[in-house]
Chain A
Amino acid sequence: MAAADVRDMLDLPAEGQPRPHKKQKVVEKRPEGITRELYALLGERAPPIAINENRYKGRPKWMSKLRVRPWCMAPFTNEARSDGLVLRHWQRQIDTAKPALEGPETEGEEPKQDEGAPPTPDQEYLFAKYNVKARVPRRYTDEEYNRHLKSDDWTRQETDYLMDLVEEYNLRWVIIADRYDFQPHPVDAETNNSALVPTRQVRTMEHMKARYYFIAASMLALEHPPSEMSEAEFELHEKMMKFEPERERARKELAALQLERSADAVREEGVLLEELKRITANEQNFIAERKELYSRLEVPISVGNTTMYQSSQGLSQLLQTLLQADKSKKRRSILGPEGAAPSPAAQTPAPNANARDSRGDTPSNAPAAPANKKAAAAAAANKEAQQNIRTLTPAEEAKYGVQHHDRLAPGVQFRSDRAQKLTQAKSNVQTQKLAAALAELEVPLRLVMPTERVCKEFEKLIHSVNLLLDARKVAEKVESEIRVLEAAKQERERKAKEAKEKEKPEVKTEQDDNPAPAADVTAEPSAAAPSAEGQTETTGDKEADTGRGDTGDVAAREATSQKRSASVLSTTSDKSTKRQKK
C-alpha cells in the first residue's frame, strides 16, 4: 500500500510531491576506475556517460606470479570395474616444477593432481573405494544344504534363487520382495503337469526373511560353533535365529491399519496426545513445586557441635561474629570508621539486640515482666497502660502468666535452658548417671513442654534424683567396706578357730550359736523399713555418716545398715516415681 492510498483513506490532503530530502540522501557511489580526487572534482552532477568499463575481474595478483597449470583430457580406469573400461575426464597436469609455490587452499586437491596426465597404474580411482557390498554368508555346498538347510517349504532351486537375489540387491528387502519372481524349473513343471498343478506360492517378505535368516544363521553356526563365536557374531546369530515371521506379519498388518486410519481417528488421536501432553506438563509442574516446597522445609542438618549456640548468649555471640565477618567482607573503610553504621544490613540487627536487652532490663518499671507469649505480654502492657496501680489477684496472675522475679540475669534466656542446665552435673560421670536415672523414670532429658510449673517440678525431681544418686554412692561405698570387713572377720574367726582347735577340740556349741545373730540381722530391717519411710533421707544420711565415722567396726551392725540403705533406695525410687506420676 502506498502512502497516497493511506492518505486517501484518511481523507488527508494529497501531498504535491514526494518529499525531496529523501532523494538527496542517496549517495552516488564512486565508480571504481576513478581516483577519489578526480571524482571530487566532478561535483554534484556526474556526467551521464559511464566512465568505468566492465572489466574481467581476473585472478588475484599473487596468482599471476604462478605458472599456469594446464589441464588435460586424461583417460582413467575404475578399479571397481572388472572390464577395464577406459573413460576420459579433465585432469590437471602434474606440476612437477614448482609444487612449493601453490597456495595453501589448493593443498586439498593434491591427491587428485598426483593422478596426473599420464595415467599411473598404481593410482587408484578416487571413487572406487565407494564400491561396497553387503556381507552375505558363504554359499552352502550340496552336502551342507542336504544336512542342515533342507526345508519342506523351500526347494533347493528356490533357496538358491533367494540367495542370488539377496546378494544382488545387497539385502534391500523391500526391493528383493518386489523383484521376487521365482519360476519353478520348467522341467519340473512339465513332469508335474499331469499329476498335479504346482500351486504358485506367493512369498511374502517375511517368508523370505525367515528363510534367509535361517540359512545365514546356520552358515554362521557351521563356520563357528556358537560356543566359539565372538560376541558380535553371537548376537547376530541370536537375532537371526529368533526372527518370527508371524509376528512381523502381524506388525505389518497393524502398521497398515495405522496408515489407513480415517481422518476422525487421526483427529481424536491428536486430541488425546494433546491431552496427554497437558497432563504430563501439569505433573511436571506439580513435582517441581513440591520439590521446591520440600527443599524449603528441609533444614540442612548441621554436622558441627551446636551446643554452644543453644543458649541465648551463644546466639548473640554468633550474631556478633557474623556481623564482624560481614563488615570485613564489605570493606566499608572508604566511609570511615562509622561506615558500617549507615549500611542497613549491618545496622538492623544491632538495634534489635538492644531492644531485646532493654526489654530484658526493664522489668523494674513494669510490675510484670514480659511473658513468653507475646499476646500475653501485649495484654499485660495494655492493662498496665490503662491503670497503672491495679494489682492482680493470684488467679489473674496465673491466668496471664505474670511472674515475679527476685533477681534477673541480664539478657534473654529460655526457661528450658535453665531446666537443661540442671541436668548438667559437674562431672561427666555424674551427668551420665543423672541422665540414666531420668531415663529409668521415663522423664525426657529435654522437657517437652517447659511451662513454669513443669519446670518447677522438674527442678524438684532433679534435686531428689541428685540426693538419690548421692545415697546410692554412699551405699555402694559402705557395702564394699562391709564386704571387706566381713572377709577380714571370717579370716579372723578362722584363725581363732584354728587356734582354738589347737587348744581344745570341742567347739561345736559355739559354732551352732553363730547363725542366730545373723538371722536377727535379716529380720530387723524388714521391721524397720516401714517406720523409716517418712525420714528416709535423713536416715540414709545418718547411716552414711555413721558408716563413714567408724570404719572397721562390728560386722553385724554394718550388715543391718547395708540392708537398710538398700530399702531406702527402693523407697526413694518409689517416691520419685509417685512424684513423677503426680
Chain B
Amino acid sequence: MNPSIPPSTAEYGGDEVSAIVLDPGFSTTRAGFAGEDTPKSLIPTYYGKYAVEGQERLIFSDDVFVTPRPGLSVHNPMGRDGIVEDWDMAEKVWEYSFTSRLTGPRPGNPFQNGLNDIADGELPTEMDGVETEEKPLADSPLLMSECGWNPTKAREKTIEIAMEKWGTPAFYLARNGVLAAFASGKASALVVDIGASNISVTPVHDGMILKRGVQHSPLGGDYISSQIRALFKTNTPQPITITPHYLISSKAAVDAGQPSLAKYKTFPPEKAPDASYRTLLEERTLSEFKECVVQVWPGPNKLSATGPNGVSNEEVAKNNPGRPFEFPDGYNQVFGLDRYRVVESLFDAKAAIPDPESPFSAPTQAQTVPELIKNALNGVDVDIRPHLLANVVVTGASSLLHGFTDRLNQELMQSYPGPRVRISAPGNTAERKFGSWIGGSILASLGTFHQMWISKKEYEEHGPTIVEKRCK
C-alpha cells in the first residue's frame, strides 16, 4: 500500500484521535492506542507490595514475578466479582498500564524536579499553565471498559479518576460485552466471556447490553485452578504439590510418576516473601498446565453420560492418549481422564471435584455455562433470542481451553434444537484474549463515535452522574 495515501475513510469509517483504550480485568489489565490490533501494554492487575526501611514500595507489571523480595505480598485491587475494591491501588495499576508503555511517565512536579529551581534574586515565573500538563492523559481521550453489572457508584468513581486524576479531555465507559461483540463485528450478539475470576453471559442488542439478561458466575479460570489443585491433592500415584520455579535451585530428570529429585531453595523467614507471592507463582504454573493439558470433553452429552453406542464417555476419554506435563520440580506425569474432569464442572455442576479447602464453594447447576446462557436468554425478549443464538461470541482467555467451543456448541444445540446456533470464536489467541480491548480499539477509532465522548466540559457541568446518562 502506498504510504502517502491514507486509507479512504469511507472504507472503515475511521478517524483516529489517538485515544487510549483501557480494559481492566481481574487477571490482566490491557491498554493501548485505539486503532491498533492488540494492546501495547499488557500487565497483570496484581501488584506487589513490600517495605524497605519502613517505606512501602509497590511493584507493578511483570516485575512482580521476577524477584522474591523479602516480605513481598501480592494484592489485587479488583474484587472477585469484577468490581474494583481498592480504588487507590486500581488507579495506580491502571495508570501504570498506560504511562509505562503508552504515554510515558508522568513528569514530576515542575517545582521539584530541579529544572525550575529559582535562582537567588529572581522572581518566580508564572506557572499556572503547567498544572494541566502534568496529568498523564492530558491529550488522549480515554475509553474504559467495565463489566455489565458494574454498580453506578463504581462507574462514577471511574470517571472521577479519569477526569480529575488523569485529566483526560474526553472519556467513555463501555461494557466489555458490547466491546467483545464489536470485536467480532456484531452489533447484536450473546457474549460469553470466560475470564479469570468470572464467567459472564451478556446479551447485546444494537450495541447496548440488555441488563436483565446479564448473567455471571465465579466459575472462571481461577475456579479451574482450584479444581486442578483439588485434583492434585487426590492424585495417584502420589499427591502433587506445586513448587514454583523460584523455590527450585536445580532439578534432575525423573521418570513419569516418580518423586522429583529437585534441590530446593530455602528462604529464611525474615527474607521469605509472603504466601500470596507463592500462590501467584503457582497460578502461573497452573495456567501453563491449563494451556498444555486440560481439555474439555467435546461432547455430545456430559462426560458422565453414556455415548450412543453404549460405551460411557469416560471410557472413551480414558482411551484418548494422555498428555504429559512436567512440573517445575521435575515431577512429571501423563494425565488421562483427569484432564477432562477438572473443567467438566463448567458444564455439569455435579462433576465438580470436591475440595473443602478451596476458597470456591461447590458450584451449583445455575452457575454452569449452559444454564447461564439459558437464563440470559430468558431475560430478554423472545423475538431476539434466535438472533442471539445465531451470534454467540466466545471471548476471554479461559475460553481457550481445548475443546471448549465444541462443547458449548453441543450443549447449545441440545438445549435449543430448533433455532440455528452459531458460535463465533476467533481462532487467533490474541483476538480471543483481548476481545473486549480490540472492540474498544475499533470503537474509539470510529469517526461516528466521537460524538459519544463525555468531554471534560460536560463532566464539569454535570458531575460524575453524567456517566449514567451517557454511557448507557
Contacts and interface: CB of A to CB of B under 8 A. Distances in A.
A299 interface: no
Contacts of B417: 261-263, 266-267
B54 interface: no
A88 interface: yes
Contacts of B418: 258-261, 266
Contact of A177 (B10, B141, B381): B381
Contacts of B472: 168-169, 179
Given A130-B448, A174-B381, A175-B210, A85 B455 contact: yes
B53 interface: no
Contact of A80 (B15, B16, B451): B451
Interface in B1-43: 2-6, 8-10, 13, 15-18
B383 A255 contact: yes
Interface in B206-224: 206, 208, 210-213
Given A59-B4, A258-B418, A174 B451 contact: no
A174 B6 contact: no
Contact of A263 (B8, B383, B414, B448): B414
A173 B141 CA distance: 32
A69 interface: yes
B210 A178 contact: yes
Nearest to A262: B417
A69 B3 CA distance: 12
Contact of A126 (B15, B141, B453, B458): B15
A335 to B, nearest CB: 67
Interface stretch (A106-114, A355-363, A493-501): A106-114
B172 to A, nearest CB: 12
Given A87-B141, A259-B416, A175 B8 contact: no
B385 interface: yes
Nearest to B141: A87
Contacts of A256: 382
A106 B7 CA distance: 11
A89 B15 contact: yes
Contacts of B141: 87
B13 A178 contact: no
Contacts of B383: 174, 252, 255
Chain B interface extent, by class:
35 or more
A127 interface: yes
B81 interface: no
A255 B383 CA distance: 7
A81 B17 contact: no
B6 A178 contact: no
Interface in A121-149: 125-128, 130-131
A78 to B, nearest CB: 5
Given A85-B455, A252-B382, A106 B15 contact: no
A85 B386 CA distance: 41
B15 A127 contact: yes
Contacts of A205: 381
B171 to A, nearest CB: 11
A174 B380 contact: yes
A92, A178, A179, A256 — most chain B CB neighbours (10 Å): A178
A130 B213 CA distance: 29
Chain A interface extent, by class:
35 or more
A259 B382 contact: yes
B138 to A, nearest CB: 12
Interface string B376-392: 00001111111000000
A87, A105, A169 — most chain B CB neighbours (10 Å): A87
Given A81-B455, A90-B16, A106 B5 contact: yes
B169 interface: yes
B457 interface: yes
Given A105-B5, A178-B210, A87 B382 contact: no
Nearest to B460: A83
Nearest to B5: A106
Contacts of B450: 78, 81, 85, 87, 125, 127
B293 interface: no
B274 interface: no
A195 B80 CA distance: 44
B457 A83 contact: yes
Given A87-B169, A174-B381, A266-B418, A78 B213 contact: no
B72 to A, nearest CB: 42
B283 interface: no
Contact of B458 (A83, A105, A258): A83
Interface string B245-263: 0000000000000000000
B471 to A, nearest CB: 13
B91 interface: no
A63 interface: yes
Contacts of B134: none
A176 to B, nearest CB: 10
A83 B4 contact: no
A63 B2 CA distance: 10
Contacts of B205: 172, 174-175, 178
B110 interface: no
A260 to B, nearest CB: 8
Contact of B169 (A85, A178, A252): A85
B385 A259 contact: yes
A175 B382 contact: no
B354 interface: no
B104 interface: no
B419 interface: yes
Nearest to A168: B472
A238 to B, nearest CB: 23
A69 B2 CA distance: 14
B185 interface: no
A192 B406 CA distance: 55
B139 interface: yes
B16 A89 contact: yes
Nearest to A175: B208
B393 interface: no
Interface in A40-63: 59, 63
B272 to A, nearest CB: 51
A259 B419 contact: yes
Nearest to A172: B206
Interface string A159-203: 000000000110011110111000000000000000000000000
Contact of B211 (A68, A168, A179, A263): A179
Nearest to B413: A263
A59 to B, nearest CB: 7
Contacts of B416: 259
A81 B8 CA distance: 24
Contact of B386 (A80, A83, A128, A259): A259
Contacts of B384: 174
A489 to B, nearest CB: 108
Contact of A87 (B2, B6, B17, B208): B17
B105 interface: no
B139 A88 contact: yes
Contact of B9 (A63, A126, A258): A126
A264 to B, nearest CB: 9
B84 interface: no
Contacts of B206: 172, 174-175
25 contacts: A59-B2, A63-B2, A69-B4, A81-B453, A81-B455, A87-B169, A88-B18, A89-B16, A89-B18, A125-B447, A126-B447, A127-B451, A131-B451, A174-B383, A178-B213, A179-B211, A259-B416, A259-B419, A261-B417, A262-B417, A263-B414, A263-B417, A266-B417, A266-B418, A267-B417
Question: A-B pairs with the 8 shortest C-beta distances?
Answer: A127-B447, A80-B451, A85-B455, A263-B417, A266-B417, A87-B17, A178-B210, A127-B448
Interface of A: 59, 63, 68-69, 78, 80-81, 83-90, 92, 105-106, 108-109, 112, 125-128, 130-131, 168-169, 172-175, 177-179, 205, 252, 255-256, 258-263, 266-267
Given A83-B458, A92-B6, A109-B9, 10 more contacts: A81-B455, A126-B9, A126-B447, A131-B451, A174-B383, A175-B205, A178-B205, A252-B383, A259-B419, A262-B417
